[in-house]
Amino acid sequence: MSHPKCRKCADKCGKGKASPDVLAKLEAGFEKLENSNSTSMLKRFLTRELFDKLKFKKTSFESTLLDCIQSGIENLDSGIGIYAADPECYQVFADLFDPIIEEYHHVSRTDKQPATDWGPSTTFGNLDPKGDYIVSTRVRCCRTMKGYPFNPCMTEENYKDIEKQMQEVFKGLTKDLAGTYNPLTDMPKEVQQRLIDEHYLFKEGDRFLQAANSCRYWPTGRGIYFNKNKSFLVWVGEEDHLRIMSMQPGGNVGEVFKRLISGINEIGKTINFVSNERFGYLTFCPTNLGTTIRASVHIKTPKLGADMAKFQELADKYHLQIRGAAGEHSESSAGIYDLSNKRRLGLTEYQCLQEMYDGITEILKAEKSAK
Ligand code: ADP
Ligand code: DAR
């Protein structure tokens, strides 16, 4: 089956097998990786035997192993080092993706992702009613639109199609979700930078995404939707086709979660999201599979931050990830940290929120009792 919309098919680069040019790049990349001291999961799991088994394969979108591992070859300091170039990659290159997914998400080969379950969002209240510690709360999901590959294999038309479909969907959002779509193509640089600095908008592709061929045709087909008070937002065309998020100042997790559920359900009435029974909602990066939920707080924990080894130990105990307040690959500033659930595959949406909620509750106790 070929996908006329897909770049690779349009290039007609051959049926079902990687081209000699791709094979040469793969061999050179594998040798570079093999001779490096990279500690990425790609390096650890891609043996020569597995490489030889996978290097000729292509998906029906014409994605190759190179499309998946090029970022990990370019960036030897990657943690993971691999992305799915299209949704089929999780099957075609399963021998490489499976062990990485199982180790990262602590799931087994036979596990199946539970059905979507948002639970009673009224369970979650305000973690910090006085506002002494939690600066803001955000819950985000990633979604893939059926029929399209991911970034490395997308055509300029694909980006435009997805953006056009979403602009129609956004017009139908009402009440608390009503707002405007803001394409990056029309956005003055200073407005873009301010939205990034205020934590609403994604940064321009980092080196990992650049090397994964995720930034071609930029900024075509990229943009951000937000409602009147920027508490419901949708990123279009960044790392995933869609990043859907709800956020607000303070620690009212229940309000943030309820708004996300309402937004996702509204968008889901029109857009077919890609999912399967093993991995739930499929995403470009395997670290985001399953519920795709990252529920985070920006929290002032200067005392815990004074001993990062101990702070990390506490975060690990509650399956929390510590990031800087400017997002991934950023450092904390002024004792404010981004704390979020680490697990998103193998549990329900409700359980992800419960895990974050319970973990942050313990973190607050520890910060309050720290000397
Ligand atoms: P993602 O959450 O989609 O993986 P990042 O971690 O890069 O993406 O965060 C994207 C943006 O969202 C960054 O500007 C980051 O500061 C902001 N952000 C994440 N969590 C929160 C939060 N709880 N409150 C405010 N901004 C947040
Ligand atoms: N470059 C990837 C990042 C993995 C997780 N972050 C994402 N998906 N934004 C790595 O292998 O480090």
Q: What is the pLDDT of residues 207-251, one digit of tens each?
A: 999 999 999 999 999 999 999 999 999 999 999 999 999 999 999
Q: What is the CATH number of the domain that holds 83?
A: 1.10.135.10
Over the range 84-113, which residues count as b (16 or more CB within 10 Å of their CB) and which as e?
bbbbbbbebbeebbbbbbeebbebeeeeeb
Domain edge (last residue) among 105, 124, 158: 105
Q: What is the mean pLDDT of the chain?
A: 94
pLDDT band at 14 (very low <50, low <70, confident <90, very high): very low
Picking from 105, 131, 164, the residue at the C-terminal end of a domain is 105
Which atom of ligand 1 is nearest the CA belonging to 243? 3
Active site residue 163: no
Give the ligand at the shortest distance from the Cα of 327: 1
Distance 36 CA to ligand 2 centre (A): 19
pLDDT of residue 121: 62
pLDDT for 94 beyond 70 = yes
Q: What share of the chain is helix, strand, coil (3-state, %, to 5)?
A: 40, 20, 40
Q: Are strands 320-323 and 294-300 parallel, antiparallel or unpaired?
A: unpaired
Domain shared by 100 and 160, yes or no = no
Least confident range of 177-181, 201-205, 277-281? 201-205
Given a cut of 50, whether residue 10 has pLDDT beyond it is no
Q: Is position 286 within any domain?
A: no
**9, 141, 153, 285: the active-site residue:** 285
The answer to whether residue 371 is domain-embedded is: no
Confidence of residue 4 (pLDDT cuts 50, 70, 90): very low
Structural domain span for residue 235: 149-242+252-276
In a domain, 133, yes or no: no
The pLDDT of residue 9 is 46
Ligand nearest 249 Cα, by number?
Answer: 1
The answer to whether residue 134 sits within a structural domain is no
Q: Which of 8-22, 121-135, 240-254, 326-340 is predicted with the least confidence, judged by mean pLDDT?
A: 8-22
Q: Whole-model pTM?
A: 0.94
Q: Which residues have CB under 8 Å from 164's CB, separation 6+?
A: none
Does residue 165 share a domain with residue 89? no
Mean pLDDT of 298-325: 95
What local confidence, expressed as pLDDT, does residue 123 receive? 85
294 is catalytic: yes
| pLDDT computed for residue 15 by the predictor | 55
Model confidence at 50, pLDDT cuts 50, 70, 90, reads very high
Ligand 1, CB within 6 Å, residue ranges: 136-138, 140, 199, 243, 247, 294, 296-298, 323, 325-328, 338
222 is catalytic: no
Q: Give a yes or no: residue 212 inside a domain.
A: yes
Do 157 and 270 fall within a single domain?
yes
Asked if 263 contacts 301 with a C-beta cutoff of 8 angstroms, the reply is no
Exposed/middle/buried for residue 338 (C-beta within 10 Å: 0-12, 13-18, 19+):
buried
Quick check: is 323 catalytic? yes
Q: Is 356 a member of any domain?
A: no
Q: Which residues pair with 162 in a beta bridge?
A: none
Same-domain check for residues 29 and 87? yes
Pair 164, 99 in one domain: no
Same domain for 169 and 270? yes
Q: Would 183 be classed as within a structural domain?
A: yes
Residue 13: its pLDDT value, please?
43
**Looking at the structure, do residues 170 and 264 belong to the same domain, yes or no?**
yes
Does 187 share its domain with 269? Answer: yes
In a domain, 301, yes or no: no
Binding-site residues from annotation for ATP:
136-140, 199, 243, 294-298, 323-328
For position 220, what pLDDT does the model report? 98
pLDDT band at 333 (very low <50, low <70, confident <90, very high): confident
CA distance 8 to 11: 5
CB-CB neighbours of 137 under 10 Å: 28
Q: Which ligand lies nearest the alpha carbon of 209?
A: 2
Residue 172 in this model has a pLDDT that exceeds 70: yes
Q: Please count the structural domains in the chain.
A: 2
Q: How far apart are CA 310 and CA 136, in angstroms?
A: 24
Among 90, 105, 120, where does a domain finish? 105
CATH of the domain at 196: 3.30.590.10
Our answer on whether the CB atom of 14 is closer than 6 Å to any ligand 2 atom is no
User: Do 96 and 196 belong to one domain?
Assistant: no
